[in-house]
Amino acid sequence: MTTQLGKHEPLPQGKHFDITGFAEFEAIESALHHAIADSEGIVRDMCLHILNAGGKRIRPLLVLYSGNLFSDGNKAELLQTAVAAELIHMASLVHDDIIDGSPYRRNKPSVNKVWGNHFAVLCGDYLFAKAFGLLSDPGAAAGMSYMVEAIQGMCYGEILQASDKYVTSISLEAYYNKIAKKTALFIARCCKAGAVVAGADGAQTDLAGQYGMNLGYAFQITDDVLDFCGDAAAMGKPAGEDLMQGILTLPVILLLRHDAYGPWIRQMIQNRAFSDENIHRVKLILEETGSIKKSYEIAEYHMERAKAALRLLPQSRYTDMLSGLADMLQTRVN
């Protein structure tokens, strides 16, 4: 499939289109490129740089799959809502890289590394504006409030994360509050936006949201586990990177409660003693104490809750696809 601007058909307006199987992904890619087709110069270069970096497009797929549970699979407004969700996600990643000073995103130079923070901030803002341009269409407007909630949650979550850095007294409740706002809420709102745009009733929309919220919890907790036991090359960051930045994730929070090793890791964090030797020791201790295993079990619990919500929704190939996304998360660690 071409990735040249100007080579894609416009977003369908007021008519049906067929997206089945892998066509959903292709429809999203084509519509994403069309959404930025009117950009020029440096703005165009930055947008293409982000799009061509790739991605799993999980959030727009969630919008489409959740919506298609309640429609014939041919509702044009769903694609607009899905593309808006991905543009919001892309914008948030650009801003995250600025905040974190990250030189790479998906093993490629980040926008802020190539063009600097000033242009990167404006690029993120541009993508947000494009997203809300799509959501302002009358057919997609029903999903706008959910996307607004998602952005508010992400901003709040980032603030919570920044304020909790290196705080070894962080509670599980505070951790859940942070990941709910930073990650899970957006995923849940993608599911709810897709459902409501497709005409689902309130109870059905809430069930779609329950699926998404638990999927989001599982997604973030799995990332927490992979930060220590995942492949560094595939993750695009070294093992223990979150810990070195003062971000205390679920495995570390569980370890802080351990009678024998809790005091040691607490002192290490407070002293910022993040040597390669200490990070390697943390990884071994997390395995030894069962903190990794326990974290993964908690992620599995949320995956099962997500699937339980799905079983109460209309059953179709799209229910199977949503269930498959949960299974995909499980195989990331196994």
In the prediction, which pLDDT does 74 show? 59
Kindly indicate the confidence band of residue 14, based on its pLDDT and cuts at 50, 70 and 90: very low
- Computed on alpha carbons and rounded to an integer, the radius of gyration of the chain in Å comes to 20
User: DSSP letter at 178?
Assistant: H
Kindly indicate the confidence band of residue 112, based on its pLDDT and cuts at 50, 70 and 90: very high
In the prediction, which pLDDT does 269 show? 97
Which of these, 102, 105, 36, 25, lies nearest to 65 by C-alpha position?
25
- What are the structural domains of the chain? 23-331 (1.10.600.10)
- In one-letter notation, the amino acid at residue 138 is P
In the prediction, which pLDDT does 65 show? 94
pLDDT of 246 over the 60 cut: yes
Task: Output the DSSP codes for 193-259.
Answer: HHHHHTT--HHHHHHHHHHHHHHHHHHHHHHHHHHHHS-HHHHTS-TTHHHHTT---HHHHHHHT-T
Average pLDDT over residues 247-262: 97
In the prediction, which pLDDT does 237 show? 66
3-state secondary structure of 139: coil
In the prediction, which pLDDT does 18 show? 38
Average pLDDT over residues 35-48: 94
In the prediction, which pLDDT does 22 show? 64
CA distance 209 to 328: 19
pLDDT digits (tens, 9 = 90+) for 165-201: 999 999 999 999 999 999 999 999 999 999 999 999 9
Average pLDDT over residues 85-101: 94
Kindly indicate the confidence band of residue 233, based on its pLDDT and cuts at 50, 70 and 90: low
Kindly indicate the confidence band of residue 296, based on its pLDDT and cuts at 50, 70 and 90: very high
Whole-prediction pTM value? 0.89
pLDDT of 4 over the 60 cut: no
**Mean pLDDT score of the chain:** 89
In the prediction, which pLDDT does 71 show? 86
pLDDT of 10 over the 60 cut: no
Q: Please, what's the b/e burial string for 127-160 (b: 16 or more CB within 10 A of its CB; e: otherwise)?
A: bbebbeebbebeebebbbebbebbbebbebbbeb
Which of these, 243, 190, 252, 249, lies nearest to 216 by C-alpha position?
190
